[in-house]
Amino acid sequence: MRHSKKALEILVFVVFFVAAFKLSYCQRNRTGLCIEKEKQSLLSFKKSLKDPSNILSSWETAHDCCGWENVVCDSSTGHVLELKLQSPDRNSRLGGKIDPSLLNLKFLRFLDLSNNDFDGISIPDFFGSLVSLEYLNISSCGFQGTIPYLGNLSSLRSLGLRLVLEVDNLRWLSNLTHLEYLDLTYVNMSNIHDWLDRVNMLPSLIELHLSGCNLDRFSPIDRANFSSLVVLDLSDNKFKSLVPDWIFSLTGLESLQLQKNMFEGPIPNATYGLPNLRFLDLSLNKFNSTIPDWLFGCSKLEFLSLNNNFFLGTISNQIENLPSLRSLQLEVNMLSGRIPMEVGKLCNLLSLYLSYNNFEGNISDVFGASMSGCFLASLRELSVRANRLSGLLPEQLRQFKNLQLLDLGNNSFTGSIPANLGNLSSLETLRLDNNELTGDLPLSFGRLFSLQVLVMENNMLEGTVTESHFSNLTNLTIISASGNPLILKVNQDWIPPFELNTIFLNSWNLGPQIPTWLQTQRNIDGLDLSSTKISGEIPTWFWNLSTIAYLNLSHNELHGPLPDVVSPGWIYLSSNKFSGPLPMITHGVRELDLSNNSFSGGISHVLCNRSTQYPYRLSILHLGGNQISGEIPDCWMNWPSLQVVNLGNNNITGTIPISTGMLGELLSLNLFSNSLSGQIPSALQNCSMLIKMDLSGNHFSGEFPGWIGTSLSRLRILIMHSNSFTGKIPPEICKLNFLHILDLANNSFSGPIPNCLNNMTAMSSEIKLMNLSTTDRSYYSYFLGIFMESATVTTKGQELDYDTILSQFSSIDLSNNRLSGEIPAEITTLAGLRSLNLSRNALSGMIPENIGNMRVLESLDLSRNHISGGIPISISSLTFLSHLNLSYNNLTGRIPLSSQLQSLTDSSFTGNELCGPPLKDACEFNGETPSTTAEEREIDWFYVLLATGFATGFGGFYTIFLYKKTWRNAYFNFLDEKFFNKLGVS
């Protein structure tokens, strides 16, 4: 009986267990787990959406919604808990509208709609009624309007509103007492003044992202209390202040991002330190102190970026106290001194960026024998570009087995490239450009299996490069090695192991023909073979390299015609021997330089024959130095993007067409040395952006247009010499405040020189380098340095070409006209003027007394006028004066004394009544010398008497000293006692 009872109990237990297990199993696997009302709500939600990629294809009526993709249900109740609808890429974005049926999902805890495309609709107000939400992410969805009230979501722990357009009220934030993560990145909060007050009231907040929120101040409060914060991102705002101290008292911080602001001054002192800090980015600000010592106490720090600031001083050797550091970025600052050897002890460092500072010393002192083995093994990226480092590249560089980027460019390294550099088998980017490296390119380059980018231009490498140097470079895509006299010697049928997209080999010897191996390179984007001694005609196959966007074959011996149409975006074929008619260009051409060739015929077919409905984008047209003839066609309206036009030094006739005035973007107009005639059309005043206008060497006539001074106010360079202009120089010319080169020589201008020249303020101080803004620059090309502004200026008695230093040179040339009257005294206020030529006119009066104020004047020519009086004494202050011509005037008196004036030849003063060196005619000292002033005589006699007195006194002393032994003994005893005994000399 007892056994039967026991067996019955066991049987009941087994039956109950099996039933419970089966019930549980069925509950988890039955097809009807999803609650019907919630299922229909999801289907209504789907219907309102646009789903071009059909990512909601599994949302079908016939299936259980808990089995749908992107839907998560409660396994026991069947309620929908999560909707994970974030878009993984651009091609899978949802759009349309968001149906309020989501309100039926009463237990929804997680909603992620990020990275979709709801462009044109507002964030639904009903989102604020999804009270069960703990996670809401609607970042980067393209919503319009403002953020609605979300204060009822009291359970919310994570809120992502990145790239939502704007917000006008954040008071509801203080209701989200459980919030741990808040992302308002790139939300426009410029009108919110109490934002930090509200955020400050979130006691559980761990991560706060406010990057790019258009903020320009912190808050009316002086100090915030974010004791729980672990991540703080305030980057990319407009803070214009010192960094608040309270930020650096948040001892729990692990990540702090303040980059891309306008913070200035020093980094505040972290009183208690930031012991947990792992990530710190202060880049792109205006910090101007030394690197604070407390930073080197953050032993957990893994990422440190201080790039693009004004940090001063040195890197402390305490850097070794950051053993966890994986990335150190100190680029573009004003740091100096030596790079501490302790950097070589950072065993976890992956990237080291120290470029664009003032570090100095021998590279071997840092990256030589002092480096630890773990540092050599860990480092992946090393950049010390643009410093003052010197010395030979150390052999130890070969030990960076895992190095992927090595940038040593723009320093002063000498000697050869180490032969064993090829041991860097992981290297992907190598930059050695702009140094003083010599010798051959080592064969070990052929072992750089991973190399993708090789940049070594502007060194002094020489010798022969063969196929062996490239034998294993199968990953190479960029080679930029211009400015080295290397010789490339490969077989005619060589097929490179790589496919390059950039090939810059300027100044190599590639001749005699264009290399045939280029045919195998199907992805060339940029090709520079300028100055490479190639000749002959360009082969037909070359123009089939259709991917080329930038082409430079200038300064070679290429000849023959070009194809009827050329299409690369940037074409530079100058200084060759091309002939025949100019080619047509497609709408995609941006810059075209065919200068200094032998092209002939007209340009109408280039400018007037529209071959497409698309607008032409040409910005630079340089056809100077050819044999182009005919007139300039009136078709400039087809070229609205033109910034530079150079048709100089051709055989062009006719007038400037009216449509030139439609070039509203024009910066530089060069029509010099042609046979153009007529007056300057008033339509040119519409070209208000002009920086340079050179119309010299033509047959233009009429008066100087006054509108040049009022409408072309940005002009820096105005050259109109050697024409037939007449009339007076109008006072409007003085309104050209930025002008620093004015050349009106060899015309028939008459009347006085305007006395308002002192208004040309660009000449009033030493000219600074032009920058690259649209209002002040000398480079125009997209490729910096390819097209540089230049000008031919007559100075020091000869014609000189200026380009690289053009922006630093200022001159006025009004010579060989019919100008009359006195030289205006105002001209002496142009203290930055380097050349002044007023010769061959009918000027009278005296040389301005204050001419010595023009302290940087290098060339002064006042010859062949009617100037009278003496040479002002102040001219002796012109210490840079190397060319002076005062010949054939009515000057009288003595030539002032100075090292410059007495070093000149007689020809500088001939044709006057002058005396004194360097002339052979000595001046009389009887007080009767014409035009010698009492002041000059007083100064002369003072020096004469001073010299006589000194000679008499010294001579008397020396005579007694020589013949009086007792005096000599006393003198030397005095020296022994006073000086030598103190120095310990016996």
Q: CB neighbours of 373 closer than 8 A, spacing ≥ 6?
A: none
* Higher-pLDDT residue of 214, 914: 914
Task: Say if strands 286-287 and 327-329 run parallel, antiparallel, or are unpaired.
Answer: unpaired
Residue pLDDT, tens place only, 220-236: 555 556 778 899 998 98
Q: Is residue 45 part of a domain?
A: yes
Radius of gyration of the chain measured on its C-alpha atoms: 40
Our count of domains for the chain comes to: 2
Q: How many helices (H) and strands (E) does the chain have?
A: 9, 64
Residue 520, in any domain of the structure: no
| Residue 106 identity (one-letter amino acid) | K
For residue 648, the enclosing domain spans 561-690
Which one of 127, 144, 161 terminates a domain? 144
The helix (run of H) or strand (run of E) holding residue 961 is helix 934-963
Answer whether residue 22 shows pLDDT above 90.
no
Instruction: Classify residue 391: in a domain, yes or no.
Output: no
**φ/ψ (deg, to 5) at 923:** -85, 140
| Exposure letters 808-838 (e unless 16+ CB within 10 A, then b) | bbbbbbbbbbebeeebbebbbbbebbbbbbb
Query: Within a 10 A sphere around the Cβ of 22, how many other Cβ atoms?
Result: 10
Contact in structure between 668 and 647 (CB atoms under 8 Å)? no
929 occurs within a structural domain:
no
Tell me if 804 is assigned to some domain.
no
Report DSSP letters for 183-201, one per residue: E-TT-B-TT-SSHHHHHTT
Domain presence at residue 102? yes
CA distance linking residue 514 with residue 516, whole number of Å? 6
Structure tokens at 543: 């123009």
Q: Cis peptide leading into 496, omega within 30 of 0?
A: no
Structure tokens at 793: 């200026």
Q: Which neighbouring-strand residues pair with 464? A: 487
pLDDT for the residue 757 = 87
Share of the chain above pLDDT 90, in %: 63
Peptide bond into 918 cis (omega under 30): yes
Structure confidence at residue 976 as a pLDDT band (50, 70, 90): very low
Structure-token pair, residue 328: 């150190």
pLDDT tens-digit readout, 888-911: 999 999 999 888 888 888 899 999
- Taking alpha carbons only, the member of 901, 905, 906, 918 closest to residue 857 is 901
Q: Is residue 363 situated within a structural domain? A: no
In this prediction, residue 763 carries a pLDDT of 86
Q: Which CATH number goes with the domain that contains 128?
A: 3.80.10.10
Domain end position, chosen among 656, 690, 724: 690
Name which residue leads in pLDDT, 686 or 171: 686
| pLDDT score, position 920 | 87
Report yes or no: 141 and 122 within 8 Å, Cβ to Cβ. no
Question: Once rounded to an integer, what is the mean pLDDT over residues 264-272?
Answer: 83
pLDDT (0 to 100) of residue 942: 42
d(CA 279, CA 344): 21
What's the whole-number mean pLDDT along residues 870-881? 92
Kindly report, residue by residue over 591-626, the tens digit of the pLDDT. Answer: 999 999 999 999 999 999 877 777 889 999 999 999
Q: Which of 66-75, 156-165, 365-374 is least confident?
A: 365-374
Ranges of H-type helices in 821-921? none
Examine the fold and report which residue of 120, 144, 168 is the final residue of a domain before the chain moves on.
Answer: 144
419-454 confidence digits (pLDDT tens): 888 889 899 999 999 999 999 999 988 899 999 999
* Total residues found in the chain within this entry: 986
Whether pTM exceeds 0.95: no
* Nearest one of 287, 141, 164, 277 to 214, comparing CA atoms: 164
- 469 is written with which tokens? 């140097």
In a domain? residue 583: yes
Residue 472, CA atoms < 13 Å, CB-side half-sphere: 12
Output the pLDDT for position 9.
58
Distance of CA 571 to the CA centre of its chain: 23
Residue 219 is predicted with a pLDDT of: 61
Strands (E), 309-350: 327-329, 336-337
Res. 836: pLDDT tops 90: yes
* pLDDT exceeds 50 at position 667: yes
